[in-house]
Homo-oligomer: A and B are copies of this chain.
Amino acid sequence: MLDHVRIGMDKEEIDTPALLIDLDALEKNIKTMADYYRSKKGAALLPHQKGHRLPIIARKQLASGAVGVSMTSLGLAEYYVNCGITDILITSEVAGVNKIKRLVSLSKHANITVGVDNLENAKQISEIAIANHTKVNVAVELYMGRVSCGVEIEEAKRFVKDLVKFRGINFKGFWWHQGTLSAIKSWEERKRRHFETLDRVAALKDEVEDAGINVEMLSGGYTCTWNITPEYPHLKNIGVQAGSYVFNDWCSREIEGLEVFECALTVLTRCISRPKRDKAIFDFGMNSCSDEHTHNYHNVVGPKFKDLEGVKSIYQREELAAVTLENPDREVRVGDVFEVIPPHADTTAKLHDKYYCIRKGKVEAIWPNYGRGLL
């Protein structure tokens, strides 16, 4: 069946497994974030695109007040620029001669800022930019521990003083990702720890500006600090690279305390077998709904059923899931469809060719997932 004839059809008729967006939930999430930022003069939203990779969602975010977008992947940035989205922070370093050439080329067509944390890499970017008669905007990444690139805050001033000597680059400021904050459940404690970092960044900014170098840009908030970063009293205009609020998987919602955002992304699945009274086999698996490990990297968590109580356990193989039922609140028959909420929306979205957008149970739109393989 061709996609265009699916518009208007009932959700239950979509061939499974399929990736669904609940449009009401998506729009509510975007509005909740935008409303908050509208009231916070000076805080800047740079929504991260790594989860959905959809320019159509980026446009909704920009239309509701975001000042630009952020993304990890140069390939995705190339796609976005082609789609007319031109203010992009690449929250990663770009290394390797060919990839740097692509970056330099892209910088001629859009307002791209890329992370740097290494002088050899910065020198190479500068030389290729000069050879191509352009300059590349860079933001120095600050090191935030364990799973982060970046320059230590204590060493950042010296690093910047060396960096600004390269003629092919424009130093814009600093960015960072303090991912460890999401493991802190208490909002107050998370705020305390985030503000500690912001104090150090504020001091760094003063030091660098005292040395005569302008720090135009600071960007270091994310979904987990969406309503904390703008409250910091000593800095204005800190970029918030919030991304996962758009789809908000169940791990973000429950473990990271983001209850205010809805789970807008689900995988539609069908029961294909009932080999035992307490066992149902569904047609989703690791190839359509990623598992996720928790922060300590030793436990695996799977998806959750959206409207089915009585699921005791889920074991995923590549293309099926064995579900153990304990007094389920409804009958589960072969052919019945259900929705599961992934533990991690980002890695699940990458598995599908397209998104089916649902409103009140009907297919309202189909969005091809062109961005999914762009690394």
Whether a CB of chain B sits under 8 angstroms from the CB of A2 is no
Q: How far is the CA of A290 from the CA of B344 in the complex (A)?
A: 13
Whether A350 lies near B287 (C-beta < 8 A) is yes
Query: Which of A15, A99, A124 counts the most B-chain CB atoms under 10 A from its CB?
Result: A15
Q: Which residues of B contact A270 (CB under 8 A)?
A: 95-96, 99
A92 in contact with B272 given A146-B322, A315-B297 (CB within 8 Å): yes
Q: Which A62-109 residues have a C-beta within 8 angstroms of B?
A: 72-73, 92-96, 98-99, 102
> Do residues B272 and A319 form an inter-chain contact, with CB atoms below 8 A?
no
A17 close to chain B: CB less than 8 A: yes
Q: Please encode chain A, from 223 to 248, with 1 for each CB lying within 8 Å of some chain B CB and 0 for all others.
A: 00000000000000000000000000
Q: Is the CB of A272 within 8 A of B95?
A: yes
User: How many copies of this chain does the complex contain?
Assistant: 2
Q: How far is the CA of A120 from the CA of B281 in the complex (A)?
A: 15
- Closest chain B CB from A25 CB (angstroms): 22
The reply on A39 being an interface residue by CB < 8 A is no
Interface residue stretch chosen among A127-135, A147-155, A255-263: A147-155
Q: How large is the interface on A (under 10, 10 to 19, 20 to 34, 35 or more residues)?
A: 35 or more
Q: Determine the chain B residues whose CB is within 8 A of the CB of A11 once the complex forms.
A: none
* A322: contacting residue among B95, B148, B286, CB under 8 A: B148
**CB-based contact B150/A335 at 8 Å:** no
Report if A121 contacts B (CB, 8 A): yes
Give per-residue flags for A1-25: 1 if the beta carbon is below 8 A from chain B beta carbons, else 0.
1000000000001011110000000
Are the C-beta atoms of B318 and A95 separated by less than 8 Å? no
Q: Tell me if A350 and B347 are in contact (CB < 8 A).
A: no
Indicate if A31 sits at the interface (CB-CB under 8 A): no
Listed residue (A13, A73, A143, A334) with the most chain B CB atoms within 10 angstroms of its CB = A334
A5 to chain B, nearest CB (A): 11
A339 interface residue (CB < 8 Å to B)? no
Name A353's contact: one of B322, B352, B373 (CB within 8 Å): B373
Q: From residue 25 to 82 of chain A, which have CB atoms closer than 8 A to chain B?
A: 50, 72-73
A181 to chain B, nearest CB (A): 14
Among candidates B17, B273, B290, residue contacting A375 with C-beta atoms closer than 8 Å: B17
**Minimum Cβ distance to chain B for residue A100 (Å):** 9
Known: A15-B98, A150-B273, A298-B299. 13 other contacts (CB 8 A): A1-B98, A94-B272, A95-B272, A95-B335, A99-B270, A124-B335, A286-B290, A287-B350, A287-B375, A299-B300, A350-B351, A351-B351, A353-B374
